[in-house]
Amino acid sequence: MFFWQDDLGGIRRAFTDRSGGVSEAPYAGLNLGGHVGDDPAAVRENRARVATSLAVEPERLVFMDQCHGSDVAVVTEKPDGPLPVDGIVTTEPDLALAVLVADCTPVLLSDETAGVIGAVHAGRPGMTTGVVAQAISLMRDLGATQVAAVVGPSVCGRCYEVPLEMRESAAAVSPESRAVSWTGTAAIDVAAGVVAQLRAAGVDDLTWVPGCAREEEALFSYRREGTTGRFAGVIVRSGS
């Protein structure tokens, strides 16, 4: 169920994988995406299993209606409807925040002392428009002073081939994102750009989880499979 997880002083951080779910091919396994064509009942069961593993009620597991933008919202409970943002932050204990990905970069943010956590979806558009910096700024508005970050697995620069103009546009924002594919063509390393932006925002406590979504069979990858599921980054702060 978990590709990586840890417990940071009462703050649980995790990235799921394909194992332990009930979805059938082509979403086989623990698909958590409700927008990809999978059976809604299977998605609900998969999400409930993740919530149980994190010791929270399913109604306390919050997902976004991600739109490849830079908007970030503060949440205090699970929204009644879709939340069209690419970042969510909260000060509420036992409220789990989730970010769905199948190649994009998931980022989990926390300040244990201030009791503030966040989850961010950083694809190429989000990286270039500053969604990570926006999330950190909003967390600081809520009292965070020492933000820790964990950057989850995503498609690596060698596997994210793009037109040259697109690469240079991204590199103009984050030079660290400029990459070359396995075949020597222009490529983007979104995670490298995100890590650089986190450093620039003053995040010193940073973990970058190794693993390329396209190369790791345990992870869902849109670039590898086309029609596929979504894995998630999830963060929750214990209220006990």
167 Cβ contact list (under 8 Å, min separation 6)? 177, 178, 179, 186, 187, 188
Q: What is the pLDDT of residue 60?
A: 96
Per-residue model confidence as pLDDT tens digits over 29-48: 999 999 999 999 999 999 99
The answer to whether 109 and 139 are in contact (CB under 8 A) is yes
Q: Binning pLDDT at 50, 70 and 90, where does residue 15 land?
A: very high
The answer to whether 98 and 107 are in contact (CB under 8 A) is no
Provide the CATH number for the domain formed by 2-237 in this structure. Answer: 3.60.140.10
Give the whole-angstrom CA distance, residue 137 versus residue 118: 11
Residues forming beta bridges with residue 135, ordered by sequence position: none
Ranges of each domain in the chain:
2-237
Residue 70: HSE in the Cβ half-sphere, 13 Å Cα cutoff: 13
Phi-psi region of 10 (alpha: psi -120 to 50; beta: other; left: phi over 0): left
Range list of β-strands (E), the chain: 2-8, 11-16, 61-62, 72-74, 87-90, 96-101, 105-111, 116-122, 148-151, 178-180, 186-188, 205-208, 231-237
Structure tokens at 200: 């620039």
Structure tokens at 112: 């244990």
Structure tokens at 229: 């599921």
Residue type at position 191: A
Per-residue model confidence as pLDDT tens digits over 193-204: 999 999 999 999
Per-residue model confidence as pLDDT tens digits over 110-132: 999 999 999 999 999 999 999 99
Q: What is the pLDDT of residue 240?
A: 65
Percentage of residues in the chain having pLDDT higher than 90: 95
Per-residue model confidence as pLDDT tens digits over 40-76: 999 999 999 999 999 999 999 999 999 999 999 999 9
Task: Find where tokens 């417990």 sit.
Answer: 7
The pTM for the full model equals 0.96
